[in-house]
Amino acid sequence: MHLHILGICGTFMGGIACLAAERGFKVSGSDENVYPPMSTQLESLGITLQEGYKREHLKPAPDVVVIGNALRRGIDAVEYTLDEGLNYQSGPQWLAENLLRDRWVIAIAGTHGKTTTSAMVAWILTYAGFNPGFLIGGVPTNFGVSAKWGQDPYFVVEADEYDCAFFDKRSKFVHYHPKTCVLNNLEFDHADIFNNLDEIKRQFHHLVRTIPSKGGLIVPKQDHALQEVLKMGCWSQIISFGTQGEWQAILKENDGSEFDVVYQGKIQGTVAWELIGEHNVNNALAAIAACVHAGIVPSLAIEALGEFKSVKRRLEVKGQVNGVTVYDDFAHHPTAISTTIAGLRANIGNKRLIAVIDIRSNTMCMGSHKHELPAALLEADAVYVYQSPKVIWNVKETLSPLQDLFVAQDTQQIIDNLVTKVGNQDHVLVMSNGGFDNFHQRLLKALGQTEMAL
């Protein structure tokens, strides 16, 4: 079978391409922006890549055109597909029908923590001696790739609530039919496709409806929105975690780097790892609970996390120059920003923490969370914000409660100002869900050329 993927360089679609090639399918694809590292990863698998969305890319006709959710009507390749009656599907549908059948699917859903929790589950299964498949929206350091077919029944998938395609506005995760499913948390997000939280709750309940009665739902008991989802109807075993849940954590270090894992009041073991932050502790509880439901012994799951190496772009240290440490983190929602800052603050104590924010996601650019952002940034000693042309609200005015604020519409202005303010032992936390104009490396280079304050 030959499939051509429109939007192949996206993390999800690129993952599908890798899985399909690994399974022996002929794969080609096109995208508006074909560049490393995804392009080189795909080309190394023998996948033909083409720039732009042109009808010529679909000649001769592939067996199926897999259309990404960034594609819209009016695009040449899309119109040609429809006019010529070519067989087409969304990425989630193709994945479910061709690669997930006869697998024990473990799906990780939620507003935050999907990528990290998915990576934890895949690693625990691997540590336990299995060879699981996975499709994750990031690159787990333990594996070095974002997607792998595997050989055992288990398949771990990051289950996104974003829509599937222009012709299928359901959330991606309704296609996966998991046997084990984590609902990590639920907040309003994706304001470009959802009008309110209730609409997202409805999509999450569509996912709940697909879980078999013998399946397991791992849900935090303290998450009010998810408890409301379950009240709409639930036919599966519910396994709770977090405060008041069956699975709980007792911190031994305030930064979350060491904690006891408790199940129904009994300590199962201790996790001592390189991750920090209460949010990662909760991610760990969800991952352990999911793996135990899938048949892994609790003590082995706990032991595995001691060797878990996190995911690229999750509080990842990009470099240290003249005593200044620069981090890269994917946080872009106020809750994720707040928990990431809190985790780093607990780890570094009273040392200066400087936050750099790239306002990039559609939801943030639209201003849906703007009033929550000042509180999310309060623990930072200084805040730098890049205001892209897409931002339609007054950033300086909204963030005026912050004491030390610098807003610019040019990343170089931020770097130029920042290097004059940082000093030895400062920590610079850069948060963006995009490439951010190679900000981290440019900043590290500039720091190396500047005499640091003491």
Residues 82 and 105 in one domain: no
Does the CA dihedral 80-82-84-85 come out positive or negative?
A: positive
pLDDT of residue 136: 92
**Distant-in-sequence, close-in-space partners of 132: CB < 8 Å, separation ≥ 6:** 122, 125, 126, 148, 150, 152, 154, 155, 156
Write down which residue in 90, 125, 159 finishes a domain.
90
Structure tokens at 288: 């352990």
Query: How far is the C-alpha of 84 from the C-alpha of 131, rounded, in Å?
Result: 41
For the beta sheet containing 26-31, the strands, ordered from the edge strand earlier in sequence to the opposite edge, are 48-51, 26-31, 2-6, 64-67, 88-90
Number of H helices, E strands in the chain: 15, 23
pLDDT tens digits along 58-68: 999 999 999 99
Query: How far is the C-alpha of 454 from the C-alpha of 322, rounded, in Å?
Result: 10
Query: How far is the C-alpha of 38 from the C-alpha of 52, rounded, in Å?
Result: 16
Cβ count near 253 (within 10 Å) = 12
Residues 419 and 363 in one domain: yes
Instruction: Report if residue 310 sits inside a domain.
Output: no
Up-side HSE of residue 329: CA atoms within 13 Å toward CB? 27
Residues 29 and 141 in one domain: no
pLDDT of residue 454: 39
Residues 329 and 285 in one domain: no
Residues 353 and 227 in one domain: no
Write down which residue in 247, 275, 305 finishes a domain.
305
Given a cut of 50, the residues of the chain with pLDDT beneath it are: 453-454
Q: What is the CATH number of the domain that holds 253?
A: 3.40.1190.10
Residues 74 and 149 in one domain: no
pLDDT tens digits along 12-23: 999 999 999 999
Residues 163 and 301 in one domain: yes
Query: How far is the C-alpha of 325 from the C-alpha of 417, rounded, in Å?
Result: 17
Residues 59 and 117 in one domain: no
Write down which residue in 90, 117, 141 finishes a domain.
90
Query: In degrees rounded to 5, what are phi and psi of residue 397?
Result: -65, -45
Instruction: Report if residue 284 sits inside a domain.
Output: yes
Instruction: Report if residue 239 sits inside a domain.
Output: yes
Instruction: Report if residue 453 sits inside a domain.
Output: no
Does the CA dihedral 393-396-402-408 come out positive or negative?
A: positive
Q: What is the CATH number of the domain that holds 428?
A: 3.90.190.20
Residues 369 and 408 in one domain: yes
pLDDT of residue 36: 66
Query: How far is the C-alpha of 288 from the C-alpha of 268, rounded, in Å?
Result: 11
Structure tokens at 258: 């060491």
CA-only gyration radius of the chain, Å: 22
pLDDT of residue 323: 87
Amino acid identity, position 199: E
- Residue 309 CA: distances (Å) to CA of 15, 236, 277: 20, 32, 14
Instruction: Report if residue 113 sits inside a domain.
Output: yes
Residues 192 and 46 in one domain: no
Query: How far is the C-alpha of 97 from the C-alpha of 447, rounded, in Å?
Result: 50
Residues 198 and 179 in one domain: yes
Domain carrying residue 352: 316-448
Q: How many domains does the chain have?
A: 3
Cα 230 → chain centroid? 24
Question: pTM of the predicted model, to two decimals?
Answer: 0.83
Residues 253 and 201 in one domain: yes
